[in-house]
Amino acid sequence: MNRVEISGFSTSKLPVLSNARMTELFEKLRAGDTSARERLVSGNLKLVLSVIKRFSNRGEFVDDLFQVGCIGLMKAIDNFDLSLAVRFSTYAVPMIIGEIRRYLRDNNAIRVSRSLREIAYKSIRTREYLASRYSREPTISEIAGETGIPREEIVMALDAAQAPVSLFEPVFGEESDPVYVMDQVSDERNRDERWLDGIAIHDAMSKLNEREKHILLLRFFQGKTQMEVASMIGISQAQVSRLEKAALRHLRKHV
């Protein structure tokens, strides 16, 4: 993030436009002066630079984020209304952030179906709209009511659209002793309940006959298919299926 050159631009030499100059250029742009658009873009590149610093921990190339942010900037310039009683930066920053987030979601290491992404985008836009209307974070039920999409689909889509987080990403703490995500994740494999379940299953397995025990060991501890088990012990797959079901019933009775 401390590079002087980003996407061919020297960040130390990027121009900054005054509000009066911005208004003048927007008026020229609306009058058909295409060169005014170029000057508006170059005069707001520092705005893009300030936004992409928020995404510095995503592991993405800064040049890529800068170029995507410029796309959001150009969309903001093309759609900005001078009659709005807001500064251009107030209008442009959410559009730049939205463009970068869309890029990060679409280039997620975990592939998400187009239908889920569309539901997620619609839900996020609705959430932002309801948040501005109610001045608070809307509930899933309110988003579902506004969009007409079932709550379960919204929750699933929003979860799927989340960018993956590294276990070694710092959450908080001093630089010398940070707390990472992995420090806040519990280990479900080594809890006391798991040990007790293992003991109970081992005790119940000892009460099965040798054939039932052998089939369950092959199926669930060695990962064999019913066809493979049938070939190994010399019976049909249908017989293996019946014996397996009977063995599981006996196992549940003893656990």
- What are the tens digits of pLDDT across the range 210-250? 988 899 889 888 888 888 888 898 899 889 889 999 888 88
- 101 and 116 share one domain: no
Which tops the pLDDT comparison, 188 or 128? 128
Count of structural domains, the chain: 3
Q: Residues with Cβ < 8 Å from 116, sequence gap 6 or more? A: 156, 157, 160, 161
For residues 171 and 197, membership in a common domain is answered with: no
Among 107, 133, 165, identify where a domain stops.
Answer: 107
**CATH code, 61:** 1.20.120.1810
Q: Give the domain CATH number at 131.
A: 1.10.10.10
Residue-wise pLDDT for 138-158, tens only, equals 899 999 999 999 998 998 888
Mean pLDDT comparison of 105-114, 122-131, 184-193, highest-scoring range: 122-131
What range does the domain containing 95 cover?
A: 1-107
Same domain, 43 and 19: yes
Determine the Cα–Cα distance for residues 217 and 206; give it in Å rounded to an integer. Answer: 12
* Whether residue 7 has pLDDT greater than 70: no
Q: State residue 19's pLDDT score.
A: 83
How confident is the model over 27-45, as pLDDT tens digits? 898 888 889 999 999 889 8
Q: Residue 168: what pLDDT?
A: 66
